[in-house]
Chains A and B, each alone.
Chain A
Amino acid sequence: KAGVTQTPRYLIKTRGQQVTLSCSPISGHRSVSWYQQTPGQGLQFLFEYFSETQRNKGNFPGRFSGRQFSNSRSEMNVSTLELGDSALYLCASREGGGTSSYNEQFFGPGTRLTVL
């Protein structure tokens, strides 16, 4: 099976712009989570989607949003970009999305966003 794929791998934007990042989970995986990695804050959970519904969200402003499509692919959007949004954005997928049993998360290679 192909792994988690993320596009684009690198992105440069300017302050005030918006950006959309894409994540394709492993085939058969229905849950997608997003994480932000910055030098200052480290790795932080953004949100998780399962069956096109956001199930959990981390402590991020409303400028960060996402969605999931019926084929489980997910996009995240950041509006009105700030310099501090420069980060590596990692996507992870897991089979099912059950809350009563553990499902391993598999990470993609990430999208490196630079905001100038």
Chain B
Amino acid sequence: AQKVTQAQTEISVVEKEDVTLDCVYETRDTTYYLFWYKQPPSGELVFLIRRNSFDEQNEISGRYSWNFQKSTSSFNFTITASQVVDSAVYFCALSEAFGAQKLVFGQGTRLTINP
């Protein structure tokens, strides 16, 4: 069975600090996808990134970066120079590459950026 663990329930930092959100996953599939979603107070899930299990290259998008390590089954998310607008709940998710492709989510990390 697939499982995603986000051990950090809540994180609070001061604006401009760097923050890393941890994600550890379990799957027996050799091909799968990993995701990060942001959920602002409005409730809608906002897609941030999708990563194929065969692509372990780190990715950077502006202040966001992702570190995928298959050896440790981790897919961590770092926000550099955090801003108040980054405050939200962040979810890591896992999906099989084929078949039903349902998303299995972690419990989420509530990130609060204080001015």
Footprint of B on A, CB under 8 Å?
33, 35, 42-45, 48, 55-56, 58, 88, 90, 92, 94, 99-110, 112
Contacts and interface: CB of A to CB of B under 8 A. Distances in A.
A42 B108 contact: yes
A53 B73 CA distance: 34
Q: Is the interface of A mostly helix, strand, loop or mixed?
A: strand
Contacts of B44: 107-110
Interface of B: 33, 37, 42-45, 47, 50, 91, 93, 95, 97-108
13 contacts: A43-B91, A56-B102, A92-B103, A94-B101, A99-B98, A99-B99, A102-B33, A102-B97, A102-B101, A107-B37, A108-B44, A109-B43, A110-B44
A105 B97 contact: no
B102 A33 contact: yes
A59 B105 CA distance: 14
B100 A88 contact: no
A38 to B, nearest CB: 11
